Structure 1
């Protein structure tokens, strides 16, 4: 029997199964930024915090006035790791001090100039700002997948940028032809 090369989930969505008990991930949709033999890193994209860009910028640069339009830019709970660190998903057409190009024209920035650019109206037209990230050690995500904790779904820019946060999880499931309401909340193997 041939050894198969491992399958990594970089640039895909993880859909939490209905029986997901971990409160950090129950009912979550997570974009996988990186997945290798060493582990995985992702950003939960459907959990808005009770914060907006104006709140963040008033803390980070109190000496500058923040445009009122920043009150309408939500901040998401990206995951339970490093919750004081910001991550911005945006089209790769723009680059900032700390930007990594991902795939399919998507980029990730982690520098303050990205937030300032969005606030000043010079930033990417579409973006999603997260505090914190989701992280898995080597083999951990693979074990969770084997335990049926997640469904995987191909990335969709429409789901990420054009679907409201409360509809993203169901939209990703629908993209697979799955209705999460019809799935059992009990884990198991066939």
Structure 2
């Protein structure tokens, strides 16, 4: 998909004017002429845990949380973006797929938005790495390209560490470091030669 950034990470420019995306790292699940969709991978949803969410959705009973596998207890919950914030999206490794429900975004990262993946994680049969995002980031056709040309976003190659590492406080700096320069040297002014 020449010219499209599906499977890469967007990095908010330091001068990002939208507070919802300040210092955000967004994994792009889809990007085409029809628009773009991604999950913010470095903003925690501090108001709810994965176990609380499983109980609210009746995936487990309240007393079942003591029997959950360690992997389920470690699944982080993120604020995935400002669109559909009441809906959950699981970004995960490709070692788990649900037929007709899992979107393969790149060779080794998938997105699933059904309760079945939550049940699989709760039973210990889910993916080896996963994060649950409440909401997503979305762009209309041409909108992301315009934001990039207006110096709103940088992009870098995604990897499992950048997507799934639990050190959210340093994920933005790690993404910038992948580009090999100091972000303080960036200008907020766009120019054309």
TM over 0.5: yes
Whole-angstrom distance in 2 between the partners of 1:62 and 1:96: 17
RMSD of aligned C-alpha atoms?
2.0
Does structure 2 conserve the Cα–Cα contact (< 8 Å) formed by 1:18 and 1:183? no
Q: After superposition, what is the alpha-carbon deviation per residue over 1:78-133, rounded to whole angstroms, capped at 9, x for unaligned?
A: 00000111111111121136212221221111111111221222211211110100
1:102 maps to what in 2?
105
Q: After superposition, what is the alpha-carbon deviation per residue over 1:111-161, rounded to whole angstroms, capped at 9, x for unaligned?
A: 111112212222112111101000001111111001101111111122112
Q: Structure 1: state its 5+ residue gaps.
A: none
Q: After superposition, what is the alpha-carbon deviation per residue over 1:143-188, rounded to whole angstroms, capped at 9, x for unaligned?
A: 10011011111111221123522211111111111333x245x610
Aligned partner of 2:83 among 74, 81, 84: 81
Whole-angstrom distance in 2 between the partners of 1:124 and 1:179: 35
Does structure 2 conserve the Cα–Cα contact (< 8 Å) formed by 1:55 and 1:71? no
Stretch moving more, 144-153 or 50-59: 50-59
When normalised by structure 2's length, the TM-score is 0.87
Whole-angstrom distance in 1 between the partners of 2:29 and 2:95: 18
1:187 maps to what in 2?
188
Q: Structure 2: state its 5+ residue gaps.
A: none
2:153 maps to what in 1?
150
